[in-house]
Chain A
């Protein structure tokens, strides 16, 4: 097709769209929906990826957590419930025997507790008892004040480090340090505050308070199942540490050779896998929805092109009389139809980006940062142009085969 003809076709396509705005929009609707789905899908995927990153940073890339429960929710709850508890003796044994890791710290968690400050009460708090070394793990980073010390550990001091969620509710003025809160009826002095660490995948971390393990046992008993936080020291050592940990735990817990572990090793990898499932679900759903709406869109565009060809039958006759070849007519209408799709996808991008932005502003949910990966934009645009061309082929072909004499007679 000659370049001058191509430019002419684009101009005609633009004019055609402009003079029939309503009709063009209706025709483009399917495409616009398809593109919007693509945008939202990219947005959700991006949000998931961000949440994943944050969660991994929260747990630490070099951390393993030994627990009788599987944190990522794999395996049946029944089988895990029946597992033996992890006792403080087992935790101490592991700490002694583990050579490849930097730290192995016992952690005892009691969920759904009430704490209070004066008249204010807070429910659904998890009270965590652990050693002072927990402050060396990513989840134990204190931003205000300090974590408890080894001696406070040893002497069951009544000191507490509170999470962001607790601090912002009970001490909205940020004056938590030095105050006394009641945990399980017992008074504890606030010595530290942990910054906001919660993510979509692990949101409970902000509603936690940390007290020395011995104090915890004093309130809730010493026979609770513990988890053991193991810090490998570096990501590279993770495999080695994991193997050693599993080996020692099996021995410590008398697991028979050939039997499954009666405990779980939780690490950020599990969350990657969990997210991968979610990601795949979003992808597939998105792809199906996009496919359906683009198909609908294709039909809509094809329909409008048929109407357009019929309306312009006389014009086609004139063009042929003046010397337009069949290919010129064919190309003209294919360009028009591709342009219509392209315009539709452009409008859809702008519109859906605005909507995404508005939603994230209004809901204030953190992870929903509006962002469409550039590759998505490119693929979707190319796809919509190709779709447009496909939609236009049949009407364009019919237009090109019109008999000029008949066409000129058409009123």
Chain B
């Protein structure tokens, strides 16, 4: 087992590559990517389609394993992990938020948010309490018994975010979270992400939109399976009035 070089690093990636075989063709989705992600960062992964940002996100989220290179998650070597170990990391350490929300259509908001806890084996009462708490934190406790088709797009995404938060994961991975929302609702969701970040979470956004990426404090740009640039964003878009000391909540 590898030991991590950096104490605060949640994720340490070194020279990872991912190749897909489609018939006789080899697609090099990621060629050589190295990256460290620290606690309480707010990062945007940017790039046009085909840049490998989705592949990198899948790798970060332990949904997919790189063909080569090193991936340490909280000091543990992901590439050595069994399928069950990976499932456990996804359950307890990773909170996914998808562009298309990906909620279970036949379950209520509450049941949706409870699901990660079901797989974590949390007992019924505690599970319910934690799920309600998560829904409160995104302002949706009034709607907890509604099914997704009874909720607006923005509300659905908030349920998805609550679900991502319920296991108190190490990172929140959001793939084009505002892609299916109108601009006004999109702004609300970005406000929520900022709030989540301020509460101490590590937020990783994957997007191709500049406006969205500008909310992050660090922007990693990908092109053709390689990191083009990895820079601090000097003026991140924020919902908190500079100097006012008052945060405008949702």
A interface vs B, CB < 8 Å? 2, 4-5, 8, 15, 19, 314-315, 317-328, 403-405, 408
Contacts and interface: CB of A to CB of B under 8 A. Distances in A.
A322 to B, nearest CB: 5
A403 B120 CA distance: 21
B64 A319 contact: no
A19 B106 contact: yes
Interface of A is mostly: helix
A323 B64 contact: no
A5 B104 contact: no
Given A19-B106, A408-B102, A322 B91 contact: yes
A351 to B, nearest CB: 28
B150 interface: no
B83 A323 contact: no
Interface in B71-86: 83-84
A323 B102 contact: no
Contacts, number: 67
Interface string B83-107: 1100110111000101000111010
Contact of B118 (A8, A325, A326): A8
B239 to A, nearest CB: 28
Q: Which 8 A-B pairs have the closest CB atoms?
A: A323-B91, A325-B87, A2-B121, A323-B119, A323-B90, A318-B102, A322-B116, A404-B63
Given A4-B123, A4-B124, A15 B83 contact: no
Nearest to B83: A326
A317 B91 CA distance: 13
A322 B163 contact: yes
Contacts of A315: 104
Given A4-B122, A328-B119, 4 more contacts: A319-B119, A323-B88, A323-B167, A408-B63
Nearest to B54: A405
7 contacts: A4-B123, A4-B124, A4-B127, A15-B106, A323-B88, A324-B87, A327-B84
B180 interface: no
Contact of B84 (A4, A318, A325): A325
B140 interface: no
B96 A322 contact: yes
B119 A324 contact: yes
B64 A405 contact: yes
Contact of B115 (A15, A319, A326): A319
Residue among A5, A319, A322 with max Cβ neighbours from chain B (10 Å): A322
